[in-house]
Structure 1
């Protein structure tokens, strides 16, 4: 029986995850030449090149990526089984999550996770786009991606945007619309939300991969086009739009999960929000669903999601 050279597999996984022969050598406590030798042995056995090497740049080939996806779960299961037998369950877990969700919703809640599971070691990988669903990226994901074979998906949150501004800008709106009281302003905007077009609007590129699309859809639900006279302040990311609104640059459309009632730095205007059509999912490898760290994190996130603001 022609057995796979098993010693090469942890080396391959380390090089692929770290994207570096030298970093893998440090992690494995061996020489870089030993790492190179193991990779050559595996490539010769498979009859395939696993990496593209161009100077200092290292990248998995298509075959290398497929092979890594296929063996990662097995390597993790071996490690998990070994740790369980030794009485040392794995407590470290890598979570890939969108940057705005991490900063405004997840991180403020982490002290509670630490209190409930003091031995859980969480590494957070922030992403501006949807992360690749792979063990080499993370162990657990919060993403709008919803379909990949071998992964488990649980709905966490349906995205909705609504208009907000700072307290200072709120006073500007109130004065310009000639409303003396908060009740008058709320009634006026509730009856005629298109009045927002008279003010500076803050738009984020990251949601729809283009500027002003967020506001175009907001106005579309009112069945009116964006007035040509609107002044826009353009930002690449929703986090920047949030900060711009906080500093009184205008009115922004933000997610409800970004609103922290304790901080009270932004005011939600009395206008309807709109659903973007995206759903956030809790995602992990189906084969890893019984791992202690994954079970604890999944359970905690589902409970915390029940506390998302309801406006």
Structure 2
């Protein structure tokens, strides 16, 4: 079996994924000229063109599309095997998500998972930035939005149905909140005022000025303020399941507002070749299902 030069395969795979010599060079920390040279070296080795060089960029030929799929899977296998050997018996799983999602949903559930998977280490990278999974050596990311996510496999994890919650102290002596308790000054906003505006419209609360209330940079600040009895936070129910169960927070007895937004687990298609990564994926998707987050989408 005659194998191609591995460095040329690596350079081709990055160029094919980005459809850009310049972006591939940036990822690989080399010059664009070096990338072009290695791609042409591979094409000479194979005896066929992998790209059509167009005035506005690159397009994969049919042969290039087939070869990209094979190279991506092969490089992933090599990477996973290398990581296992380098890490010894323990396998590292890297997942990226926002700080709020990490603190409110993922991390509280991880301890139970790790008790049953002692051979795994889960490293959580909390950031608001959409990471490049391959370039930044990240196995999974949880993304919030409508999608799609080109080049990645995306699985629905949680719905984003929003419910108002507050401290029981705010509505005492009643053990629950009701629509009459909602007022403009009591609104705790997450980033913008749009969520509360849409929720009030859906509930027919024309009397409530959704332009009032305090705005926080993230959902975590709004939840902390709600726990302190400062007002109502509008949150995804699964993110405050513990607080609702212990009655540190109480929810409003009103229909949740359905939205097309949701949380999705995204990863490169070849990631699940690795049994450790598949085990984490199976667990986190199951956790989403148990939280009531799986929908027909």
TM tier relative to shorter chain: 0.5 to 0.7
Using the size of structure 1 for normalisation, the TM-score is 0.65
Who is 2:37 aligned against? 45
The C-alpha deviation readout for 1:93-151, integer Å capped at 9, x for no partner, is 2101222221111111111111111111211111225x245312421122135323442
| SS of the residue 1:123 aligns to | strand
Contact kept in structure 1, 2:188 and 2:213, CA below 8 Å: yes
How many positions carry a matched residue from both structures? 249
1:281 & 1:89 partners in 2: Cα distance? 30
Q: How does 1:61-80 map to 2 (within 5 A)?
A: 74-80=74-80
| Mapped pair 1:159 → 2:155 | no
Who is 2:174 aligned against? 182
Who is 1:93 aligned against? 93
| SS of the residue 1:102 aligns to | helix
1:85 & 1:103 partners in 2: Cα distance? 31
Q: How does 1:1-311 map to 2 (within 5 A)?
A: 6=7, 42-43=34-35, 45=37, 74-81=74-81, 91-128=91-128, 131-137=130-136, 138-144=138-144, 146-171=147-172, 182=174, 189=178, 193=179, 195-197=181-183, 199-205=185-191, 211-225=192-206, 227-228=208-209, 231-259=212-240, 260-261=242-243, 263-308=246-291
| SS of the residue 2:135 aligns to | coil
Contact kept in structure 2, 1:169 and 1:250, CA below 8 Å: yes
The CA deviation at 1:245 is: 1.0
Alpha carbon RMSD of aligned pairs, Å?
4.0
Shift of the 127–73 alpha-carbon distance from structure 1 to 2, 3 Å rule, reads farther
Shift of the 231–152 alpha-carbon distance from structure 1 to 2, 3 Å rule, reads closer
Contact kept in structure 2, 1:200 and 1:230, CA below 8 Å: no
| SS of the residue 1:114 aligns to | helix
Shift of the 167–195 alpha-carbon distance from structure 1 to 2, 3 Å rule, reads closer
Shift of the 286–228 alpha-carbon distance from structure 1 to 2, 3 Å rule, reads closer
The CA deviation at 1:289 is: 2.0
Contact kept in structure 2, 1:101 and 1:257, CA below 8 Å: no
Who is 2:20 aligned against? none
The C-alpha deviation readout for 1:200-238, integer Å capped at 9, x for no partner, is 211111xxxxx2211110111023446449741111211
| SS of the residue 1:94 aligns to | strand
1:76 & 1:39 partners in 2: Cα distance? 24
Shift of the 226–72 alpha-carbon distance from structure 1 to 2, 3 Å rule, reads farther
2:127 & 2:258 partners in 1: Cα distance? 22
Contact kept in structure 1, 2:196 and 2:210, CA below 8 Å: no
Shift of the 167–291 alpha-carbon distance from structure 1 to 2, 3 Å rule, reads same
| SS of the residue 1:219 aligns to | helix
